[in-house]
Amino acid sequence: MSSTSTKPVRVRYAPSPTGYLHIGGLRTALYNVFFAKRHGGTFLLRMEDTDQARLVPGAVESLIRTFATLGIVAAEGPYVENDVLSERGAYGPYTQSQRLDVYREHAELLITKGRAYRCFCSPETLDAMRAEAQAAGRPSRYDGRCRTLSKEEQEEKMTAGSHVIRMCVPPIGTISWIDQVRGEISFSAADIDDAVLVKTDGFPTYHLANVVDDHLMEISHVFRAEEWIPSTPKHVLLYQAFGWEPPLFGHLSWLLNADKTKLSKRQGDVAVENYLQRGYLPEALLNFVALLGWNPTADREIFSMDELASLFDISKVNSAGAVVNFEKLDWFNRHYLKALSSEEFARRAAPFLVAADILVPTGTDTWTARETQKTFSLAQLAGVVGLERERISALEELPKALAFAFAPLVHQAAMLCWKGMSAADTVARLEAVRAFLAEQGDVSSATLEAATKEWIAAKGWGNGEVLWPLRVALSGQEKSPGPFEMIAAFGKEESLHRVEAALHVLQK
């Protein structure tokens, strides 16, 4: 079998819309997108909703919106515009539940060709067959007893009850393919079951729907999770039965929990939308997920999507599973958070402060602090939120980290005193620095720090004696951003006001 294809590149991501977008699903989609971009091909989305029991309303829209937030847009398939779900592309419909006739037609075609047959066996019969095979150490597979039913027997049974359609696997030879990520994989045909193609409810199974759709949609490469390796020989056989050329397959390894089991909801957050909601930037999430199982270089971690796409090589993707290390996601997020302009950072931060009821939006790019009624322009907000930018891993930490900046402070006298200094001495230092600050012109100037330190030295004091109480006066906290950063962010009036409040507590 060939390991290259001359067909135009068309790849797809074909999820079952059963809820949220899983991190593993995102990676699969991403690799398909990269491959399409790299080879000038097309990426399309297809919904595999043939299991009626697992349908979740709204899942398709939610999936598409999440992709859109991440900048992933399929050229063909379902899309959402103005809250309306529609489809685009010349190979539709792209939703399997709307293609039932196509599958039925193809199943009948296979029966005509003698490559599929109707099976009337009951679930009980099948269970018994499985148990027996397992006990004997044989691969558990259907024994094919309905393959040879006469026309009369078939008609009789058809009127008597329901049936499924099975593919007919001749138990001879070997089925193999050159896997694009793993190399050659082969199976003995004797181990392959006569899989059900059409269920009693008339819906196709994955095997039939997937093969028919991939062929009809002219898919050139199928990149999917490794769970499909054992089914691939069935798919190969199906392509042969139809007389079609199969696409090239590439099976991606699992994303794993810390204990090396398949990444699951039980052991943490696996929904991409949750990370987005918690304030992980799309660019960080994308960069992080793309590098799980693959890195195009030996010494770089930060890449744009375009770089990744142009560097993508499916044969270089690791065949071993990758444990997802969320601490590294934090690192990526901190990196991208720092890379934002201060105004952009403020824009992305604002919704989190609003959601926490710290800020109330009062117009385009203006907000009011709920407790102090102080208003903020975008530039002012940028100054304040910038205070914690290098101390957080995700935007969700901002409300807690910045509470001190938007509310009146309650100072603690003991905390204000530097290393056992008396309250009286601390008052003296604070009063002096308050007076010094009051005389300064532009407190947001980068030179304020140097000027202040010079002034402290001239007084014969140590930096800590003055700067510690000043910083605690401004923040009300033991740990906080530096005093000069805060003064610049708060402005002179607010800063002096905070020092005043601290003095008041000390003099009580």
Partner RNA sequence: GGCCUCAUCGUCUAGCCCGGUCUAGGACACUGCGUUCUCAGCGCAGGAACACCGGUUCGAAUCCGGUUGGGGCUACCA
List residues with catalytic annotation.
265
Q: How many CA atoms are closer than 13 Å to the CA of 502, on its beta-carbon side?
A: 30
CB of 95 to RNA, least distance (A): 12
- Least distance (Å) between residue 129 CB and RNA: 9
Q: How far apart are CA 316 and CA 221, in angstroms?
A: 16
Amino acid identity at 322: A
Extract the tokens encoding 429: 């230092």
- As measured in angstroms, the least distance from the Cβ of 73 to RNA is 22
Comparing C-alpha atoms, which of 92, 93, 86, 94 is closest to residue 46?
94
Rounded to whole angstroms, how far apart are CA atoms 424 and 429?
Answer: 9
**Residue 240 CB, nearest approach to RNA (Å):** 19
- 3-state SS track over 71-99: CCCCCEEEEEECCEEEEECCCCCCEHHHC
The residue behind tokens 């398709």 is: 60
Conformation bin of residue 117: beta by default, left when phi > 0, alpha when psi is -120 to 50:
beta
Judged by beta carbon, residue 231 or residue 375, the one nearer RNA is 231
CB of 77 to RNA, least distance (A): 15
The residue (of 365 and 397) whose beta carbon lies closer to RNA is 397
Smallest separation (angstroms) from RNA to the CB of 307: 15
Whole-number Å distance between alpha carbons of 487 and 489: 5
Nearer to RNA, 367 or 430 (CB): 430
Pick between residue 302 and residue 424 the one whose CB is nearest to RNA. 302
State the nearest-atom distance from the C-beta of 360 to RNA, in Å: 28
Asked if residue 8 has a cis previous peptide bond (ω within 30° of 0), the answer is no
Q: Are 405 and 419 in contact (CB under 8 A)?
A: no
Quote the least distance from Cβ 368 to RNA, whole Å.
27
Strand 164-167 and strand 116-119: pairing? antiparallel
Q: How remote is the C-alpha of 457 from its chain's centroid?
A: 53
**Would you call 423 helix, strand, or coil by DSSP?**
helix
- Tokens 């409810």 map to which residue? 201
Q: Give the nearest distance from C-beta 441 to RNA in angstroms.
A: 20
**Helix 448-459 / helix 463-475 crossing angle, nearest 10 deg:** 130
User: CA 429 to CA 504: how far, in whole Å?
Assistant: 14
Which residue number, 105 or 357, has a Cβ lying nearer to RNA?
Answer: 105
| Residue placing its CB nearer to RNA in the complex, 121 or 356 | 121
Distance CA 401, CA 388 (A): 7
Q: Which is nearer to RNA, 233 or 367 (CB)?
A: 233
What is the 8-class DSSP label of residue 214? H
Alpha helices by DSSP H, listed for 243-325, are 272-277, 282-290, 305-311
Question: Under a CB-based contact definition with an 8 Å cutoff, are residues 175 and 189 in contact?
Answer: yes
- Separation between Cα atoms, residue 463 and residue 457, nearest integer Å: 8
- 455 membership: H or E segment, kind and range: helix 448-459
Nearer to RNA, 49 or 76 (CB): 49
Interhelix angle 398-406/378-385, rounded to 10 degrees, is 110
Nearer to RNA (CB atom), residue 198 or residue 367: 198
> Residues in the chain, how many?
508
Tell me which residue of 225, 249, 223, 254 sits closest to 238, measured CA to CA: 249
Q: Are 134 and 158 in contact (CB under 8 A)?
A: no
For residue 211, what are the contacts with CB-CB under 8 A and spacing of at least 6?
A: 235, 238, 239, 242
